[in-house]
Amino acid sequence: MNTFEIKYFDGKTSAIQYGTVKLAYGHWDIRLNHPDGTMSSIHWQLKDIKQTEFVGNTNIFKYGDFPQQTLECTDSDFVKALQKEYPNYEFFKKEYVWALNKGLEVFIGITVVLLALCFGIYKYILPTVAEGLALTVPQEYEIKWGDMMFENMIQAPQKEDLSESLNLTKNDTLSKLANQFAKEMDFKTTYPIKITVVDEKVVNAFALPGGNIVVFNGLLQKMKNKEEFAALLGHEVAHVTHKHSLKNIFRSLSGYLFISLITNDLNGVTAVILENANQLQNLGYSRELEAEADASSMKTLKTNQIATKGLYNLFKILEDGNHGEIPEILSSHPLTDERKKFAKKNQILNEKPIEKARLESVWGEIIAYNSKNKK
Amino acid sequence: MEQTQPEFRQFTYYGKGPELFKIYIINWLLTIVTLGFYYPWAKAALLKYNYQHTQFDGSNFTFHGTGKEMFKGFLKVIGVIVVLYGSLLAAQLSGNASLTLTVILIFYIVLILLVPFAIHGSLRYRASRSSWRGIHFGYRGDRTTLVKLFVKDVLLTIITFGIYNSWFINDLRTYIIGNIRFGNITFEYTGNGADFFWLNLKGRILTGLSFGFYFFWYSMELFEYYIENIYAQQDGKHLPIRSTAKGGDFFALTIVNFFLLVFTLGLAFPWVQVRTLQFFMSNIWVQGEFDGNSLVQTEEEYKDASGDDMVDMLDLDLL
């Protein structure tokens, strides 16, 4: 039988009309019984019939332009009859009908595969792509950008009233000496290295993209010999040369974008969990970068024939100086046992570094300046 | 077929977790594969499912929107965002301080103006695409009026350090709800800023005093305030809307949902959504002599979906 009981709405009022539909060739023949006992008939052309996508207990079909007519049929045989009568005609949106007819286990399978895939992309493909992208940024942009960040952080001593943001005051004499010191070393870099010493008690230093390196005088004051300073510069210049800031930014940004892509439609809780995981991941990455900079610093010391124990001593200074007072935001140098082990393992025992008179004399001036101004 | 009408009519949501889960997984898969561009279709699929599984007086709702319509809106929204953030970035890179400041100022002004545009567009689109028994909803608000109201109230809220916010929310709801049509049914919102202000003040104080515990009761008071201040009117007959949601029930719902999400790393989200929709729908009742057969189509066709995605992007919660 090709005739089914239906409810019908004409799109003009909400009144329920009862009747039947007969599946005919190329159209549906709808007959409506009116309350007054009369009957009327409507034809729906096959090509204008649309099914609403999700089938509950009721199959709902819409017809025509706005305002659409609606037909509801609760007979479970109706769908089967449709497929039999119009085998070449697609009433249903394929992807979701397919989906809803498949078992839940299929979807759990898909989910597991998807999760594994996402994890793989996040862990292995994304970092490579992000780093590759970071490397395509032209050096001149990096320098310009780093200078801008630098301007925002450092102020000349005379402009103290206008102080805002990080409030770091440049020490002109020490900065000049530090740059002279750096000139005596070969860092094998194409970046213009510019060192700025700031009057802060904090024991730290950081590098900005493009060549600006900021050293806190607190760190300088704790240093006993030039090897330590050379090791520090070697480390910071390595951050610049290897574009660590850019890589870090590209990586955390790509991680963030990826996570917001996959949690697009999901809920807050999942997003928060994943974002925290991403931050942990980035923390791990910055350790990697530190290790790379350490290795590079060691190489610089060796190239310049400066005593390699400088790196190990530098770590000891940083360790002692970091008891509780470091502003977390600047603490880009998490000290780990691995780093100390690395420095110890790679230092050359009984080495005979070439004495460099010029380097020694600049270092002497730095020491002299600091001991004079301390009192 | 006429029968005696009961005094109360309840909404029911009968979506099922496993079905919704399948839809979410497909949406998720396609969204990732298309780098996010499937988003409008994903949204349409979810809205269709949820509308179709919400019932009132024996009939389902229908969502008529399509991914294609919303995709056009989605592209427009992306365009606006690219221009906005692009100019902000360009100004910042130029290093010119006064230019940067001007652009930042313009950025925020445009952002504030975008909100009422987005609300207006979304309401018009969403309402026109929602129907029940073939009768479409409609939003008849005027965009310029809404923008003026919005800007005025935003300024007052800033000047009063946020105190005016209660009046702001109620002004907005009064205007929006007053302009919603459902066939020949009209709506009216009777909430006011003062009541709402005290409700919030009480809610926040008690939430603080109870170490956050009162939050669930506070939330239900807000829900009740929103719902019970809406009056529908059909042919001169008032149809008050009532909420039966209880703080304790909401507490239980939230706790269970939270654990469901945490222990499945969010994979139970579809079930959480089903539970939440069931809870809220089953707690909304329409009182009075509603005649479901006598609604008349009153709205015209409307075709612009750009507001809908804008509301999503700005993270506005309309309901």
pLDDT score of B235: 83
DSSP code, position A293: H
Q: Above 50 in pLDDT, residue A159?
A: no
Helices marked H in A154-200: 172-183
pLDDT digits (tens, 9 = 90+) for A59-116: 888 888 878 898 888 888 888 888 888 887 777 665 666 677 777 888 888 888 888 9
- pLDDT for B306 equals 63
- Residues linked to residue B187 through DSSP beta bridges, in sequence order: B232
Q: What is the pLDDT of residues B126-137, one digit of tens each?
A: 888 899 998 889
Average pLDDT rounded to a whole number, residues B151-175: 93
ipTM of the complex: 0.75
Q: How high is the pLDDT of residue A352?
A: 74
- Residue A23 CB neighbour total at 10 angstroms: 18
| Model pLDDT for residues A264-282, shown as the tens digit of each residue | 655 566 677 777 777 777 7
Q: Which residues contact B181 (CB under 8 A, 6 or more apart)?
A: B127, B137, B138, B139, B140, B187, B298, B299
B183 vs A contacts (CB less than 8 Å): 13-14
Residue type, A187: F
The residue written with tokens 């706005």 in the block is: A66
pLDDT band at B313 (very low <50, low <70, confident <90, very high): low
CA distance A26 to A196: 83
The answer for residues whose C-beta is within 8 angstroms of residue A118's C-beta and 6 or more apart is A258, A262, B32
For A3-93, CATH gives 2.30.29.30
Would the CB atoms of A54 and B42 count as touching at under 8 Å?
no
Residue of B nearest to A7 (CA): B133
Q: Model confidence over B21-44: pLDDT tens digits?
A: 988 888 888 888 888 888 888 888
Name the residue of chain B whose CA is nearest to A33's CA.
Answer: B1
HSE-up of residue B148 (Cα within 13 Å, Cβ side): 6
Q: Could you tell me the two tokens for A38?
A: 């009369």
Residue B205 near residue B318 (C-beta atoms within 8 A): no
Residue A130 carries which side chain, given as an amino acid letter? Answer: A
As given in the structure block, the two tokens for residue A120 are 């793989």
CB A21 within 8 Å of CB A73: yes
Dump pLDDT digits (tens) for A116-154.
Answer: 988 898 888 988 998 898 888 888 888 888 888 888 777
Scanning every residue of chain B, which has its alpha carbon at the shortest distance from the alpha carbon of A68?
B134
% of chain B surpassing 90 pLDDT: 37
Rounded distance, CA B30 to CA B211, Å?
A: 43
Q: Where are the domains of chain A?
A: 3-93, 138-374
CA angle B6, B9, B15 (to 5 degrees): 140
The answer to whether the CB atoms of B21 and A15 lie below 8 A apart is no
Calpha distance A227→A359 (Å, rounded):
10
Q: Per the CB < 8 Å rule, is B48 touching A53?
A: yes
CB contact under 8 A, B26 and A95: yes
Range scoring the smallest mean pLDDT among A326-340, B76-90, B260-274: A326-340
* Spatial separation of the C-alpha atoms in residues A128 and A131, rounded to whole Å: 5
Cα separation, B10 vs B32, whole angstroms: 38
Q: How confident is the model at residue A1 (pLDDT cuts 50, 70, 90)?
A: low
Pick from A134, A294, A149: nearest CA to A212: A149
Mutate: best of B25, B43, B271, partner A, most A CBs <10 A: B25
Average pLDDT, chain B: 86
Show the tokens assigned to A201. 């008690």
Q: Which contacts of A154-161 are long-range, i.e. CB under 8 A and separated by 24 or more positions?
A: A154/A196, A154/A198, A154/A214
The minimum CA-CA distance between B194 and chain A, rounded to whole Å, is: 32
Contact A366, A177 (CB under 8 A): yes
